[in-house]
Amino acid sequence: MEHDEELSAAEEAHLRSLVDAEADGDERAVEAALRPRSLDEVVGQERVREQLGLVLEAARRRGRTPDHVLLSGPPGLGKTTLAMIIAAEMSAPLRLTSGPAITHAGDLAAILSGMNEGDVLFVDEIHRMSRPAEEMLYMAMEDFRVDVVIGKGPGATAIPLEIPPFTLVGATTRAGLLPGPLRDRFGFTAHLEFYEPGDLDRIVRRSAGLLGCEVETAGSAEIASRSRGTPRIANRLLRRVRDYAQVRADGLVTREIARVALDLYEVDESGLDRLDRAVLDVLCRRFGGGPVGVSTLAVAVGEERETVEEVAEPFLVRSGLLARTPRGRVATPAAWRHLGLAPPAVDGTTPLFGP
Ligand SMILES: Nc1ncnc2c1ncn2[C@@H]1O[C@H](COP(=O)(O)OP(=O)(O)OP(=O)(O)O)[C@@H](O)[C@H]1O
Ligand SMILES: [Mg+2]
């Protein structure tokens, strides 16, 4: 191997600036380019793929618009990708909006009244829609009609408006926050699960092919194993490793290159990144392993509560490093060991001698 283990400060700064530039706008373009475009191209999620495939095929045979679909699961597992695929498989136009973008029922009425038969309406972060908009959506989903209220106070009148049959695709990272009546109006709910290392490996190799980047088998496996079950992270790590391979070596991604590059970007062997480790660190060192409330934890690491809850925690819980209890978050013995610390003894005392 013809690269040095150590990076000079200038090279490190250069690598970091590459990351920042891509994160700004380019990153989205790259992500879009790597999206599978049909159900056949989707890697993993066999159950969801089969279920969704049936829903779509049946609708196609009947010549009807498919039932409304709810996609739920943690960030980066393919919800937006699947929404686009649903439209593509139905050869239907996709209209995109999001819960936070619909602040008034009127915003939704405007979108719905512009729909044509068979259109797919994608509402991302559907759990963050306003209450009045949500109620309007119930009606639109069930009866393909909405009441548009004109005027205010006693003089206000509701004008019924027919909407051509459409398919609503909602995406949420928090299915639990969706009100029952809304959840029940989806004919099919797809729960996306974290990906197995083998699937992530296939995703890394597929993406590498699209990016024109040569990857050895052990190289892609190394990237996959640090991707925390998430395709978006797998693709992002691949791009960082590719940068490193191109700048510091001959462009070929070997296991060694992947390891050195990912260590540089502070993604450890278990896939924990800086935020995950910060959460564990604060939990163990500052709060004695908990229990501590998630809001307190978020403030302590300088992040939004949602980020800690939706980005860091699911993976930490899944890795058996953190437990959610009614009294707050608790570090498991494995968390202490991960930080190179001795777990506190069961009776609450700290051992005299650490590792
Ligand atoms: N099954 C898959 N096979 C291959 N690539 C995938 C798959 N799922 C997701 N990806 C890749 O991961 C990236 C992120 O997926 P996507 O944007 O659909 O996630 P998301 O669930 O909508 O996330 P968020 O909740 O943050 O909106 C995409 O660019 C896509 O390339
Ligand atoms: Mg998305």
ipTM of model: 0.98
What is the per-residue pLDDT for 39?
95
Conformation bin of residue 144: beta by default, left when phi > 0, alpha when psi is -120 to 50: left
Whether the Cβ atoms of residue 112 and residue 140 lie closer than 8 Å to each other = yes
What is the per-residue pLDDT for 12?
52
Encoded tokens for 298: 């978020």
DSSP per position, 130-166: -HHHHHHHHHHHHHSEEEEEESSGGG-EEEEEE----
The residue assigned the tokens 């095929």 is 57
Beta bridge partners of 190: 71
What is the per-residue pLDDT for 349?
53
Mutate to test the pocket of ligand 1, among 46, 50, 81, 195 (most ligand atoms within 8 A of CB): 81
Q: What is the mean pLDDT of the chain?
A: 88
Evaluate: CB of 314 within 6 angstroms of ligand 1: no
Question: Catalytic residue at 145?
Answer: no
Encoded tokens for 210: 């699209």
What is the per-residue pLDDT for 353?
52
Question: Catalytic residue at 124?
Answer: yes
pTM as predicted? 0.83
Evaluate: CB of 203 within 6 angstroms of ligand 1: yes
Ligand nearest to the CA of 310: 1
For residues 144 and 87, what is the distance between their CA atoms, to the nearest angstrom?
Answer: 19
What is the per-residue pLDDT for 144?
93
What is the per-residue pLDDT for 347?
59
What stretches in the chain show pLDDT beneath 70? 1-27, 346-355
Q: Is the peptide bond before 291 cis (omega within 30 degrees of 0)?
A: yes
Considering only CA atoms, which of 169, 77, 165, 92 is closest in space to residue 126? 169
Whether the Cβ atoms of residue 319 and residue 333 lie closer than 8 Å to each other = no
What is the per-residue pLDDT for 133?
92
Evaluate: CB of 227 within 6 angstroms of ligand 1: no
Mutate to test the pocket of ligand 1, among 35, 128, 211 (most ligand atoms within 8 A of CB): 35
